[in-house]
Amino acid sequence: MIDRGKRNVLGVLVDAVDYEAAEAKVLAAARERRPLALTALAVHGVMTGVQDRAHGARLNGFDVVTPDGQPVRWALNLLHGSGLADRVYGPTLTLRVLRRCAEEGLPVYLYGSTHETLARLVPAVQTLFPSLKIAGAEPSKFRRVRPGEDVEIASRIRSSGARLVLVGLGCPRQEVFAFAMRPLLDMPLIAVGAAFDYHAGRLGRPPRWMQRYGLEWVWRFGLEPRRLWRRYLLLNPAYLARLSAQKTRLWPATPPAAGTRLPTTDRTWSALAASRPAARSSSLGRT
């Protein structure tokens, strides 16, 4: 098990962990009924925090941020000598956590994606893990939430008996959701990216050699060029340039200060997190 703590990658604090350590953190929180927010970041996820300092502060408030993409793992090794032999890929971590939840009888709640994807995902994972308990499955609403809806969502999740929530809303919406919901739930939330689509069979998986050499983005770009061209053709070179600047100390890559102003809804919600549920403002944005 490798857990070398959080390390600065372009100002975003990423955990130098392996699968075993990330899985252990999630399962411990699920068993102990305590909140934990985890996200798995590839280049796009890191760059959202670089380009938006408020979102960077949000990411740095997560309990665990795993190196989802090989370039993020390479950055940890290059900048900090982390010695990680593999990334901690969201879809793979999802299966590892589901397997353990099935073994230990910990019910899981699925939040995000579409009705169609969830309808395929639930039987797919239950085929893989017959003893897995799905406490609930709720698709994204694809609209802005109304005030107080975060409390209603949290209530539904708690009432379901779930001990863990998988969030599949895409980056950065899933991180906004997990960060906002963390104080409302006594269980871990894992932002899993495209794991719902992969495991539901709606998105093809790249060959292992492409994953190993950090070329998964080429596969995804080939599948959805019109949607993803900005993400890959603009952000990838920007990531490499900033990584070089951080390595050569031409750029300090200072993480956002703890007091960096979050969007108004996040600040309001955080300030009211301990007050009566009816008084809380929504901070989820689009779900």
pLDDT of 261: 61
What type of residue sits at position 3? Answer: D
SS3 content of the chain, % helix, strand, coil (to 5): 50, 15, 35
pLDDT digits (tens, 9 = 90+) for 119-148: 999 999 999 999 999 999 999 887 777 788
As a whole-number percent, the residues of the chain with pLDDT over 90 amount to 72
Q: How many residues does the chain have?
A: 287
Comparing 223 with 197, the larger pLDDT belongs to 197
What gap in Å lies between CA 265 and CA 196, rounded to an integer?
27
pLDDT digits (tens, 9 = 90+) for 63-103: 999 999 999 999 999 999 999 999 999 999 999 999 999 99
pLDDT class of 213 with cuts at 50, 70, 90: confident
Cβ atoms 238, 42 nearer than 8 A:
no
SS3 279: helix
User: Which bin fits 112, alpha (ψ -120 to 50), beta or left (φ > 0)?
Assistant: left
Maximum mean pLDDT: which of 24-33, 141-150, 254-263, 277-286: 24-33
What is the average pLDDT across 231-243? 91
Across 46-50, 180-184, 256-260, least confident range: 256-260
What gap in Å lies between CA 119 and CA 60, rounded to an integer?
33
pLDDT digits (tens, 9 = 90+) for 262-285: 554 454 333 333 333 333 334 566
* Token pair of 159 as six digits: 């009432």
Per DSSP, the residues of 171-204 read TTHHHHHHHHHGGG-SSEEEE-TTHHHHHTTSSP
pLDDT of 285: 62
What is the average pLDDT across 111-120? 95
Q: What are the domain boundaries of the chain? A: 3-203+251-279
What gap in Å lies between CA 108 and CA 205, rounded to an integer?
24
User: Which bin fits 155, alpha (ψ -120 to 50), beta or left (φ > 0)?
Assistant: alpha
Cβ atoms 160, 136 nearer than 8 A:
yes
Cβ atoms 167, 193 nearer than 8 A:
no
Across 178-187, 210-219, 246-255, 262-271, least confident range: 262-271
What gap in Å lies between CA 118 and CA 104, rounded to an integer?
23
* 111 φ, ψ (degrees, to nearest 5): -125, 125
What is the average pLDDT across 111-122? 95
pLDDT class of 259 with cuts at 50, 70, 90: low
* Token pair of 123 as six digits: 């039987």
What gap in Å lies between CA 55 and CA 262, rounded to an integer?
7
Cβ atoms 195, 172 nearer than 8 A:
no
Average pLDDT for the chain: 88
